[in-house]
Amino acid sequence: MSTTVSPMLVRLAAERATGALLRDHGTLYLVDGQVVHAESPASPGIDVLLTSAGRLPAEDWQEAVDRAGTRGRVGRFLVDSGRLADGELELCHLSALFDAAFFALAPGSGPTRFRYGAAHWLGRIRPVSAAVVERESQRRRRLLDELWPYPDTDTAPVVRRTTPSGQPVTPRQRAVLDLADGERTPGDIARALGRPAFHTLIDVRRLAAAGTVATPRVAPTAPSPVPAWVAQVADDPDTALLRRLRDALEASL
């Protein structure tokens, strides 16, 4: 039976609280008990995802922050001014939200505090229930453990092995390998590529399991066999994860 990721989050959702849930690895913003945004130093923000992908010029993002940030309507400004369509802003926002929430709700993320009334300058885009955020965070944790059960892999510098493993490498993984210089961590690589950090963790753990990169092996148990379904997950995790986000949202309506 799964346990709750954050008892305080569950309580705040039941209270329909509004404010900021602060933990060592990130912050969740709530409105009426629903999660409206999340931030973590371990994951690129929505600004990085939009501007690094070339969808939004950096100067357009900065203009939105300057003109609408104090009113908490940056997201609305981007849509109303024609910079982004509602749908693409919503999908990018959900990707950033679930990415940051995964790290903010990680085990051992330190004490939890809540600042009532605190709001994020991005504004309300697409609220997500706390239950959906928790389930998605747990699912992601299980997936990573099934791919390669060594969590220190997620924070250590990624080093390419000098002897090729002979395993095929996807274009997404190739981009990660090109930045694996023995100094960059998966988080550093995610920011450099403008990708969600969780997607990069998937690539790194798969590369580690294939013997393509050398990473720490600090875990309480030996690695278990990789389930057959893991090999069937799309090479590009964006599509598969966004489908899951959509399904989760539809289930919460």
- Domain match, 132 and 199 both: no
Last residue of a domain, one of 88, 105, 138: 138
- Domain match, 190 and 77 both: no
pLDDT of residue 239: 52
User: Binning pLDDT at 50, 70 and 90, where does residue 163 land?
Assistant: confident
pLDDT at 225 over 80: no
pLDDT at 166 over 50: yes
- Give every CB contact of residue 52 below 8 A, 6+ residues apart in sequence: 44, 193, 194
What's the number of domains the chain is made of? 2
Q: Which of 1, 88, 100, 89 is nearest to 41 (CA)?
A: 100
pLDDT of residue 5: 80
- Residue 17 belongs to a domain: yes
- Domain match, 34 and 133 both: yes
pLDDT of residue 110: 67
pLDDT of residue 243: 59
Domain that holds residue 163: 148-222
- Mean predicted confidence (pLDDT) in 186-198: 95
- Domain match, 101 and 160 both: no
Residue 29 backbone class (left: φ over 0; alpha: ψ -120 to 50; beta: rest): beta
Last residue of a domain, one of 138, 171, 194: 138
The mean predicted confidence, pLDDT, of the chain is 87
CATH of the domain at 205: 1.10.10
What is residue 87's three-state secondary structure? helix
* Cβ atoms 33, 130 nearer than 8 A: yes
pLDDT at 247 over 60: no
Helix 130-147 and helix 197-209: axis angle, to 10°?
20
DSSP secondary structure letters along 102-117: HHHT-TT----EEEET
- Residue 187 belongs to a domain: yes
pLDDT of residue 250: 53
pLDDT of residue 244: 58
- Tokens 């092995």 sit on residue: 161
- Domain match, 27 and 95 both: yes
- Domain match, 157 and 96 both: no
What is the pTM for the complete model shown? Answer: 0.84
pLDDT at 246 over 60: no
